[in-house]
Amino acid sequence: MYGTQGARLRRAAAVTLTAGAMLATGAVAAAPAQAVTTPSIAAKGGYVMNDANGASLYTKYADTRRSTGSTTKIMTAKVVLSQPNLNLDAKVTIQKAYSDYVVSKNASQAHLIVGDKVTVRQLLYGLMLPSGCDAAYALADKFGSGTTRAARVQSFIGKMNTTARSLGLRNTHFDSFDGIGNGSNYSTPRDLTKIASSAMKNSTFRTIVKTKKYTAKTITKTGSTRTMGAWTNTNTLLSSYSGAIGVKTGSGPEAKYCLVFAATRNGKTVIGTVLASTSTTQRATDATKLLNYGFARLG
């Protein structure tokens, strides 16, 4: 009896000592961080990184090229905002060609009115919130070089590709200013995340992509002021995810449902991309899982 009881006491003492040692070294406190379960997402591709240092936190076919839909417009905005001596209050007259284009493509639009004068800043909101392909066309026409509209658009797309190369992106190519490509408009979750991270260094871009709703006042042909219908941001994470700060949705027959997302919590920013998810609701669910995972990894 005594021997058995003594053995039990010795075992109990050993367990207590072990537990004490674990507490002393912080092993118990560290365990939850190691036990973070890698999430499963519906999207075919995904990537998440720590925005502070570019360290990868999650990858799923992160370097597989896919159609990007309107997430392309992140680069459109970045190219505009990187123009030398940019005047955000410069006015652009809306041409019939922009309106005809969105109608012919059945594209998402900011419902810009032909003949109205709209500032570059307003066009950027129209580009990023309702994902206006008319706004994208207007910006490409304004900031491309050439004597014809077609030449200016091609010049602008050239600037998008030059910028991608300058960021060291080998799996990205643009053949459109809005994501309605002609077969060779593609990127990857990793590359799109890097484009967004770079764009987020611009304060105007940061302000725009975290805005939930914006109402533009434009100047009509007759010189009067038109109050446009409010533009609502298509990125639902801004309302559903605490700390969300952007960035851009995308969709299309080939692209399916895409989302480039970012959030800041406790001074840490996680940024990432999901490509080819199954619905607008699912892409937000995928992004939420990846943001939660990213923050858990960062501790």
* Helix orientation angle between 27-34 and 2-25, rounded to the nearest 10 degrees: 70
Q: Per DSSP, what are the bridge partners of residue 249?
A: 259
Catalytic member of 131, 197, 198, 277:
131
Helical H runs in 144-210? 149-166, 189-199, 203-209
Q: Which amino acid is at 71?
A: T
Question: Among all chains, which residue has been given the structure tokens 């003594």?
Answer: 6
Cβ atoms of 80 and 86 within 8 Å: the answer is yes
Rounded CA-CA distance 203/211 in Å is 13
Is 217 part of the annotated catalytic residue set?
no
> From CA 228, how far away is CA 261, in angstroms rounded?
27
Tell me the C-alpha distance between 150 and 140, whole Å: 10
Concerning whether 131 is annotated as a catalytic residue, the answer is yes
Q: In angstroms, what CA-CA distances link 276 with 103, 209, 247, 249? A: 25, 21, 17, 11
Two tokens, residue 27: 């092993």
Report the C-alpha gap between 225 and 71 in whole angstroms.
31
Instruction: Pick the catalytic residue from 70, 108, 187, 198.
Output: 70
CA-to-CA distance for 137 and 116, rounded, in angstroms? 15
CB 162 within 8 A of CB 91: no
Cis? peptide before 247, omega within 30° of 0: yes
Residue 240 appears among annotated catalytic residues: no
Tokens found for residue 83:
């123009």
Q: Phi, psi at residue 144, to the nearest 5°?
A: -85, 165
Q: Which of 60, 73, 194, 289 is catalytic?
A: 73
What are the residue numbers of the active site? 70, 73, 131
